[in-house]
Structure formats: structure tokens, C-alpha cells
Amino acid sequence: MKDLVAAYISGLCIIHCLITPILLALGGAGLLGHWLEAEWVHYLLIAPILLLVIWSLPAARRQHQQHAPLWLGVAGAGLMLLSLWVPAPLEPWLAISAGILLMAAHLFNRHFLKLHVNAQLTAQAQK
């Protein structure tokens, strides 16, 4: 479940990065545009993303023994953090790339956990 929540939050980050420049370019964003552009919104989105990466991926890797989700998550988290300190024109590109990596990490993680559970159930049924 936490992998789905993490994938959705990463998706919200992607949506935020896509919608904010469009709203600001249209000029009619008003208060919503200022809110979406605010630095605290970035921290509000990144905090649960990083917590879920730390909470979910290493423990799951120990279960299913697949390294790809963890490395995708580390790369995505690194890019997400880096996006906070790059020049404004680069920020959305890094954050969108990070969001895609993080979504992939959590969805692969979920897939590998399901395979692991199914393999355990199959092994128990054969005993």
C-alpha cells in the first residue's frame, strides 16, 4: 500500500511541475499560481516522498532481493533534492525526471513484493 501512496505522491509532484509553469505563463493564476510557486509547497511535497523512499524501498529489497527499485529510488530522491537548488528553468525538468524514477521505483517494488509473496505461498502449498 505504501508503494502506491508513494507513486501517487510522486505523480502529484509531476503534475505540480507541469501545471505551475502553464498557469504562470497564462497569467491568470492569481493566488493559486503564487501558492503553487511557493517554496514551502516543494518541501511539503518532497518530505513524504523522501520518507516513503527511506521507509519502503530498503526493507522491501531485503525481502525480494531485487536491487533495481532501491537504485531507482535513490536516483529519483537525489534528483528531487537536487531540483531544489538548481536554477529555476532546470527545476521542473529535474523534478519531473525524479518523479518518473520514483514512481517506477515504487511500482517495481510493489511488483517484486507481490512476486515474492506469491513464491512463498507456492512453496508453502508444495510442502
pLDDT digits (tens, 9 = 90+) for 56-84: 999 999 999 999 999 999 999 999 999 99
Instruction: Check residue 35 and give its pLDDT.
Output: 65
Please check the confidence at residue 106 and state whether its pLDDT lies above 80.
Answer: yes
How many degrees, rounded to 5, is the angle at CA 104 between CA 48 and CA 9?
Answer: 25
Among the listed residues 96, 99, 85, the one whose alpha carbon sits nearest the alpha carbon of residue 17? 96
pLDDT digits (tens, 9 = 90+) for 27-38: 655 656 566 667
Distance (Å, whole) CA 36 – CA 26: 14
